[in-house]
Amino acid sequence: MSWKQEIEKALRNSRRVVVFGLGNEWMGDDGVGSLIAKELNAVSEGGGFRKEMKAIAGGGSPENFTGLIRKESPEWILIIDAADMQRPPGEIALLSPQDMNCLVHSTHTIPISLLTEYLESTTGAKVAALGIQPKTIEFGAPLSKEVSSSIQEVVHVLRGAL
């Protein structure tokens, strides 16, 4: 099953969803998750979602946003981040949070597996992780064309599912 099908299946049975985008936007492709969250918020201002959805740009310190996530009482949380999966730049994959812990560049202050365990135990929500292969993670680097295309693809899929 593709990542798109898995997300659509998971969202089919979830009414309240949090999309939690991670990554530092000053570090090239590392900011992909935060950029997706911001894009979804721009779309949601137009009221285009059938489900209750909150997108949160967590940057490099996701632990600072756990209270906001708990307030939303989500049924499903999708964490999105850059992940070095040794694949072509821009490739997207649905991964376990434990896989993300091994593949994510260390720009975060807390391991994703610990964050996931905490969110699952405090919200009762199911948590999934979407990884996007970065091309460049360097301070001041621009977003690559490949990852920019992936942002649009993920936003399109989530808009359709939500």
Residue 132: its H or E element: strand 126-132
Average pLDDT, the chain: 87
**pLDDT for the residue numbered 34:** 96
**Is 78:125 a contact under the CB 8 Å cutoff?**
no
In the predicted model, residues of the chain with pLDDT beneath 70 are 44-51, 97-98, 100-109
Strands of 92-95's sheet in order across: 52-59, 16-22, 76-82, 126-132, 92-95
Which among 137, 122, 129 is positioned nearest to 100, based on CA atoms?
Answer: 129
Question: What's the confidence (pLDDT) of residue 160?
Answer: 83
Confidence at residue 11, expressed as pLDDT on a 0 to 100 scale:
82
Query: Would you identify the CATH topology of the domain 3-161?
Result: Rossmann fold (3.40.50)
In this prediction, residue 48 carries a pLDDT of 59
Could you give the 3-state DSSP secondary structure of residue 39? helix
**Cβ atoms < 10 Å from Cβ of 36:** 29
Q: State residue 147's pLDDT score.
A: 97
What predicted TM-score, i.e. pTM, was given to this entire model?
0.90
